[in-house]
Amino acid sequence: MRVLLVDDDPEIRHLVHLALSRGGGHVVECATGGEEALQSVTERRPDAVLLDVLLPDADGVELLERLRRIEGMADVPVVFLTAKSSPADAERLRRSDARGVIDKPFDPLALTGEVERLVGSPTGSGD
């Protein structure tokens, strides 16, 4: 599976990349912000997107809405990564059409299983 990770934190990108590529055999591509993510999905067509809620140039929920308007992205599973934990934030994320939310900090050893559980088995091979 080809996964696009959108997160501005280099440590998070490193941990997710290691967990999903080595632990799960997935291809992980990274974007550090909203504009880079929009360009990446247009060029690379990921099978799934892991999306930080707070980015320096974008709000995650608004970015998800923009991603959905790109041809071929309407049904691509998106999972939020977030350190935000207020009840209002949690409700806002639940109302989006994301497949789920993974809280930061997360267990890198359990990440692959959690992503696969939320995303399912996309038909794309990632190759």
Q: Is residue 80 one of the residues assigned to a domain?
A: yes
pLDDT band at 40 (very low <50, low <70, confident <90, very high): very high
The count of structural domains within the chain is: 1
Domain extent, residue 10, equals: 2-110
CA distance 75 to 57: 24
Q: Is residue 123 one of the residues assigned to a domain?
A: no
Which distant-in-sequence residues (6+ apart) come within 8 Å of 51 by Cβ?
Answer: 6, 37, 60, 63, 64, 78, 79, 80, 81, 98
Helix H or strand E encompassing 40: helix 34-44
Q: Is residue 119 one of the residues assigned to a domain?
A: no
Q: Is residue 68 one of the residues assigned to a domain?
A: yes
Q: Is residue 104 one of the residues assigned to a domain?
A: yes
CATH number at residue 72: 3.40.50.2300
Residue 123 has a pLDDT of 46
Q: Is residue 117 one of the residues assigned to a domain?
A: no
Look-up of token digits 């299983």: 113
Q: Is residue 53 one of the residues assigned to a domain?
A: yes
- Residue 82: alpha-carbon gap to chain centroid: 10
pLDDT tens-digit map of 64-117: 999 999 999 999 999 999 987 778 887 888 889 999 999 999 999 999 999 999
Q: Is residue 27 one of the residues assigned to a domain?
A: yes
